[in-house]
Amino acid sequence: MNTFKAYAARESALGSVINLAIGSAFFLVLFQGQAAPSVWGGQGLIVDCIPQGFMIGLMSIVPTMLITRQRALKGLAPPAGPPLKAILPRSVLGRGIVIALMTMISLVGLAAFLAWATGTTSLPFWPAFALKAVPGLVIPWIVAPPAIRAVLLAHSQSQARPA
């Protein structure tokens, strides 16, 4: 495994752990005492996907990008690897907001579709907990590596420019 892949894997795993911890705490507080949380409605699991999806996307890349930028400035980050075709903003805040909105829309859409397709109106507490944990574990592995690469490429390009 090259250094970039190892670095991205470590940061993605850390993002998964952080998302799992924060998401679990919120789930346990919001749905405590409910044997089978409702899927639909103002207090349902689908509505909870809105802030969850946004925060998972945001927290999967913003801290990672900021930390990677600091490491790159100190010479402690791996090389960026081959350039990517940039379609997302390279800035930390811009990319964070775009990714957060994309993950929010994707999570809400997928959850609503699955609930509608299966006719599910409520879920037992622990299966609901497990289903709500999955996005927090998976999304960092999708969004963090390109975000890290964007930071490293921006850093290498700024180093290559004459002063």
- Mean pLDDT, consecutive 10-residue stretches, the chain (163 aa), reads 86 95 94 95 94 94 94 88 76 93 96 95 96 95 93 81 59
Residue type, 121: T
Distance separating alpha carbons of residues 64 and 72, to the nearest angstrom: 12
- Burial label for 33, CB within 10 Å (0-12, 13-18, 19+), is exposed
Tell whether 69 is covered by a domain.
yes
User: Residue 56 sits in which domain range?
Assistant: 3-29+36-79+89-156
Tell whether 110 is covered by a domain.
yes
Tell whether 93 is covered by a domain.
yes
Number of domains in the chain: 1
Tell whether 149 is covered by a domain.
yes
Tell whether 59 is covered by a domain.
yes
Tell whether 145 is covered by a domain.
yes
Tell whether 125 is covered by a domain.
yes
Model-level pTM? 0.88
